[in-house]
């Protein structure tokens, strides 16, 4: 088990792992591996776009005390790995489906650093009493107006010098466009908001017609 360039993410052969914050407990039936008094959870790129982006070479700065705003948390698959990475930090997990938030609440009972928030990320002001300024914003909500939602949350919550990562599903932008054209369209919308695009990474072969767009402030 070897550390990668991303603090808190480990690699063994062609697979990546995070160190389990809650020893012995699985979140979504992932594999647990014991190594030198520690336990690691396998992180599959077929279940998590963040894992896919990491395996495709994304380089993001996360520390064990980073504060993350996570938009589109679903039932917590990827949130749980981010929670492993930012052990002493916090993951503010926003999700608008009450059913999914029930699972997030269960997750947060075991993981002290996960704060579930049942809200629509489009109304970013609604969670301003819960969320401080953060180091990193991750968004995976597959909506047509996702660039606008991303920009609103960045303007309100991202620290100067922070990083944003937007997951884009081409088909949700415009079915008539080729994937690359859809990613370019989102990039131009982000530029119109004066966000600085650092890199766009196609998530093929792990996720068909998806890309990760990194921005910096």
Ligand X SMILES: C[S@@+](CC[C@H](N)C(=O)[O-])C[C@H]1O[C@@H](n2cnc3c(N)ncnc32)[C@H](O)[C@@H]1O
- What residues line the site for ligand X (CB under 6 A)? 48-49, 71-72, 74, 77-78, 94-97, 100, 120-122, 140-143
Residue of minimal CB distance from ligand X?
72
Closest CB 45 distance from ligand X, rounded Å: 11
CA dihedral 176, 215, 198, 1 (to 10 degrees): -100
3-state secondary structure of 127: helix
Cα dist. 213→49, 140, 147, 188 in Å? Answer: 12, 11, 11, 12
Closest CB 36 distance from ligand X, rounded Å: 28
Pick 97 or 217: Cβ nearer ligand X: 97
Pick 129 or 160: Cβ nearer ligand X: 129
Pick 35 or 207: Cβ nearer ligand X: 207
Closest CB 186 distance from ligand X, rounded Å: 16
Pick 135 or 140: Cβ nearer ligand X: 140
Closest CB 37 distance from ligand X, rounded Å: 29
Rounded (10°) angle between helices 146-157 and 179-192 = 40
């Amino acid at each position: 088990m070897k550390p990668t360039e991303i603090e808190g993410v480990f690699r063994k052969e062609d697979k990546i792992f995070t160190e389990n914050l809650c020893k012995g407990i699985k979140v979504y039936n992932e594999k647990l591996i014991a190594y030198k008094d520690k336990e690691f959870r396998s992180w599959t790129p077929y279940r998590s776009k963040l894992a896919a982006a990491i395996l495709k070479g994304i380089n993001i700065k996360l520390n064990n005390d980073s504060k993350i705003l996570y938009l589109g948390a679903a039932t917590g698959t990827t949130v749980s790995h981010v929670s492993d990475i930012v052990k002493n930090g916090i993951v503010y997990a926003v999700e608008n489906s009450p059913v999914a938030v029930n699972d997030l609440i269960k997750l947060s009972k075991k993981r002290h650093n996960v704060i579930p928030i049942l809200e629509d990320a489009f109304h970013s002001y609604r969670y301003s009493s819960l969320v401080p300024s953060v180091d990193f914003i991750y968004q995976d909500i597959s909506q047509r107006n996702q660039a606008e939602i991303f920009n609103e949350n960045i303007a309100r919550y991202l620290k100067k010098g922070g990083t944003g990562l937007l997951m884009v599903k081409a088909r949700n932008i415009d079915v008539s466009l080729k994937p690359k054209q859809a990613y370019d369209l989102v990039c131009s919308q982000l530029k119109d908001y004066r966000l600085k695009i650092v890199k766009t990474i196609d998530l093929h072969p792990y996720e068909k017609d998806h890309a990760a767009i990194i921005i910096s402030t």
